[in-house]
Structure 1
Amino acid sequence: MKALVLAGGAGTRLRPLSYSMPKQLIPIANKPVLQHIVESIRDLGVTEIGIVVGSGNTDLADAMGDGSRYGVAFTWIVQERPLGLAHAVRVAGPYLGDSDFMMYLGDNMLPDGVADMAADFATARPAAQLVVSRVPDPRAFGVAELNDAGRVVRLTEKPEQPRSDLALTGVYFFTPAIHRAVENVTPSARGELEITDAIQLLIDDGHTVRAGRYRGYWKDTGRAEDVLDCNRHLLRSLRSRLAGHIGDGCEISGAVVIEEGARVLRSRITGPVVIGAGTVVEDSHIGPGTCVAADCTLRGVELSDSIVLDGATLSGVSGLYGSVIGRHASVTSGESPERHRLLVGDHTRIEVAA
């Protein structure tokens, strides 16, 4: 079996971060989303992974390489225009050939894994098997309706009046039967070739489509709030590892990782916290739920429940929480506590105390 990861899309809900980096490279627990997905696929024993990217997007390939560092082999596939998930399968057709494959949307996190569903698919081998999860409000999702035998009888994309609470999670298993369906599907009202429509064609043609219920943590990391929530969730299972330098006068409590080459001086670290390689933390309090990436500098900072990306500098600021600080960004205190000086890009959101 092969895997297909869809990693296109503009990431508009993650602006301004996604202006300068693909959303799949945003780190959660100091590891890019795409790496989490690749490792989850590899753990199923699947080592051939095609990754669909948009035209001109070389950042992902530059960052992730050929897959060898993760024990897999990548094939990079370009989708010239974002014409839908079924169109992405069309584009990947020559790579997939006659293989069964799993398809994974590149901004979805299912950290508890889908091993049970993969085993069910390998045993029963329906034309398609969907990974679904119960949600309180299915109107924002593709929704699967099942009969008493557990077969999918209808798929509806973002229904106004859902007839089921089983939402598609963004992970699918397919036999080659899907290729004929994606060739025959027509554009939806929004002008895209929908994978839900292609799967419905399989159902209408008498193919067996089944659904396996995922009961673990699931998050679409399309918004900053979702990235932070997922970061908090993954950090709950963090195990301490203190490989960097910890100076005198430091207080370390809870699960804390300090990577090799990091330096923590005269600071209090309250886990779960990850401090990346080469980062310097001085005279600061870093609170729970925080990941600081590599080569950052934090001096005189109070920070919690946040993600700080590579090379950022924070100095003399307190009360920071629920924040995502971009690569090589600078956040410093002003000359007067009553005045604020900002350099703000498009789609930035800032909260300033009154």
Structure 2
Amino acid sequence: MSAKALILIGGEKTGTRFRPLSLSTPKVFFPIAGKPLLTHLLESIQATSTPKISEVVLIGFFDTSIINAYIATVENSFTFSIKYYQEPPLMPMGTAGGLYYFRDEILKPASGETQPPEHFFLIYADIVCSFPLHEMYTFANEQRPGPAVDFVIMGVPHDDDLSSLKNDPQDNFGSIASIRGEVVHYVEKPETKISSVINGGVYYFKASILQDALPEAKKLREERNQANAFLQFHKPNDDESYSTGNSISWERDLVKMLADKSIPGYRVFCYQYTSYWRQLKTASLVLPANKLYLEKRPQESATSLENVVQPCYIHPSSFPIPPTAKIGPYVSIGANAAIGPGVRIVKAVIGSDVTIGQHTFIKNAVVDNQVAIGEWCRVEGSSNGEVQQAKEGEESDALPTATVLATDTKVLNEVRVYGGVVLPHKELKLDVLNEIIM
């Protein structure tokens, strides 16, 4: 009873909303809590007991040399094999195009096995959560009336109780309508509210989905394109390749067709996930992701220093920390960072080769690699990395977002940066307030 996990990792030209951080480091490799984002996902897959995941397939647009170099650094840490399939360049394929293009290879037995996989997981690489793969598998295979479940979507409630989503409109996500768990309607990024459950970007399905349902969805998409010439020219903003002849969307085509029975014979259910969930869309969202992963792995990042408030991660090469400095909670510091005396850092991600001068204060900020911050500076953003409404009595209508300093930024002594986003290779001589420095 083997399984494969399929991860959509995008490419160097995707992740534009993650700028300016993605200008130097692809989003899937950006270090959070001391590890690349993709590594956190692989560790969650490794921790899945049932079904046994024997192979992970990465699908994206990155040059093979980049991904193969990453695989070489991590593959010995996992019991499953890792493969990379590069989508053809200059051929827009949509979110399901790579799965369709490589489906014959994906359906083959994993390395060292003789039987083809029966179960699959599909995960978007920029999702941050606890990845309940075992729970989704168990949910799909529970005893219930009717035929077996073929396809499970991880649904996330979108309401005020889920604080991680309260500032992100529901129409930014797919919307799932279900009755007693069975999905009866699905709309990707609806203009009006369909339900209070959104698509969490994690799927479980059986081999028949790749063997039969996906080719059928591709066929139906091509027929609809031919029947309506308008689709040849209209391209939705979120997926410019969606309506081209070679493309197919996983959500807009396959999931929707399965839900509304345009492709009959499959049972689609929604697994309700109620823990922390986020899609890492923007650079500011590094902060809540860092908080989540530090809380999940406090034993890996612990240190006994009195001036380090847990949970924190500090790379060994960034010690010693001056006794008059205070770090944490929720701080990650990369390799070869130099922290000056009297520095205070809280709720921040600090990259590698960063220099921070004495008595500087940093809070709610993402500081990329090779940034130099002078003495007596203040670098600060909002509490959760998103725009917030000001409290009663405050002058501003909104508090600033998290401050982001891109690679090779220089902040001179006594400069204050509040809610700023600074692109690479800039020198700040004056204070910044809610500005984008290009």
Q: TM-score range by the shorter chain?
A: 0.7 to 0.9
Amino acid at match of 2:130: P
Q: Following TM superposition, by how much is the alpha carbon of 1:130 offset from its aligned partner in structure 2, in angstroms?
A: 0.6
Distance (whole Å) between structure 2 residues aligned to residue 123 and residue 336 of structure 1: 59
Deviations 1:254-288 (A, max 9, x none): 44443323221242224232333432211242322
Judged with a 3 Å threshold, the aligned counterparts in structure 2 of structure 1 residues 267 and 208 are, in CA distance, closer, same or farther, namely: same
Write the mapping of 1:123-272 to structure 2, written as runs, cut at 5 A: 123=142, 126-136=149-159, 137-147=169-179, 149-179=180-210, 180-185=212-217, 186=221, 190=235, 191-192=241-242, 193-196=248-251, 197-203=253-259, 204=261, 205-236=264-295, 238-239=298-299, 241-242=302-303, 251-262=307-318, 263-265=320-322, 266-272=324-330
Q: Does 1:30 align with 2:40?
A: no
- Which runs of 5 or more structure 2 residues have no equivalent in the other structure? 108-115, 160-168, 223-230, 236-240, 243-247, 381-401
Q: What is the match of residue 330 of structure 1?
A: 409
Q: Following TM superposition, by how much is the alpha carbon of 1:169 offset from its aligned partner in structure 2, in angstroms?
A: 0.6
Partner of 1:7, secondary structure, is strand
Q: Does 1:92 align with 2:97?
A: no
Identity of aligned residues (%): 22
Q: What is the match of residue 78 of structure 1?
A: 86
- Which runs of 5 or more structure 1 residues have no equivalent in the other structure? none
Q: Following TM superposition, by how much is the alpha carbon of 1:55 offset from its aligned partner in structure 2, in angstroms?
A: 5.0
Distance (whole Å) between structure 2 residues aligned to residue 336 and residue 225 of structure 1: 21
- TM-score, structure 2 as length reference: 0.69
Q: What is the match of residue 7 of structure 2?
A: 5
Judged with a 3 Å threshold, the aligned counterparts in structure 2 of structure 1 residues 251 and 308 are, in CA distance, closer, same or farther, namely: same
Q: What is the match of residue 228 of structure 2?
A: none
Q: Following TM superposition, by how much is the alpha carbon of 1:353 offset from its aligned partner in structure 2, in angstroms?
A: 4.1
Determine if contact 1:131/1:169 at 8 Å carries over to the other structure. yes
Amino acid at match of 1:195: W
Distance (whole Å) between structure 2 residues aligned to residue 314 and residue 78 of structure 1: 39
Partner of 2:316, secondary structure, is coil
Judged with a 3 Å threshold, the aligned counterparts in structure 2 of structure 1 residues 140 and 76 are, in CA distance, closer, same or farther, namely: same
Amino acid at match of 2:87: Q
Judged with a 3 Å threshold, the aligned counterparts in structure 2 of structure 1 residues 61 and 268 are, in CA distance, closer, same or farther, namely: same
Distance (whole Å) between structure 2 residues aligned to residue 332 and residue 56 of structure 1: 34
Q: Does 1:297 align with 2:329?
A: no
More displaced stretch, 176-185 vs 217-226:
176-185
Partner of 1:161, secondary structure, is coil
Aligned residues: 341
Distance (whole Å) between structure 2 residues aligned to residue 324 and residue 343 of structure 1: 6
Determine if contact 1:117/1:212 at 8 Å carries over to the other structure. yes
Partner of 1:167, secondary structure, is strand
- TM-score, structure 1 as length reference: 0.84
Q: Does 1:313 align with 2:372?
A: yes
Amino acid at match of 1:286: R
Distance (whole Å) between structure 1 residues aligned to residue 414 and residue 310 of structure 2: 35
Q: Following TM superposition, by how much is the alpha carbon of 1:26 offset from its aligned partner in structure 2, in angstroms?
A: 1.5
Distance (whole Å) between structure 2 residues aligned to residue 336 and residue 130 of structure 1: 48
RMSD (Å) for aligned C-alpha atoms: 3.1
